[in-house]
Amino acid sequence: MIRYMSSKLLTTVSATRRKGADTKICTLEKRYGKDFGVQNDKALWNYFKNKGFGSLSRLLGDE
């Protein structure tokens, strides 16, 4: 996934990780208008629910 990020974004992600901040990938996606295949929690739960895996959504914490 990282190979598709611009160097500027890669730096931002690296810096975020170094700081241990809570900035989420979805925030970075929103900021840079890119889709890294990583969903915010709610979207991910809905995705798996819609695929017939509501039990996985619950495992991930949707309830």
**Contact with another protein (CB under 8 A) among 5, 29, 39, 49:** 39
Residue 34 sits in the site that holds another protein (CB under 8 A): no
Is position 44 an interface residue for another protein (rule: CB under 8 A)?
yes
How near is the Cβ of 53 to another protein at its closest, in Å? 6
Q: What number of chain residues touch another protein (CB under 8 A)?
A: 26
Structure tokens at 52: 């017939």
> What count of other Cβ atoms lies within 10 Å of the Cβ of residue 45?
21
Residue type, 22: D
Angle of CA points 56, 52, 44, to nearest 5°: 50
13 lines the binding site for another protein (CB under 8 A): no
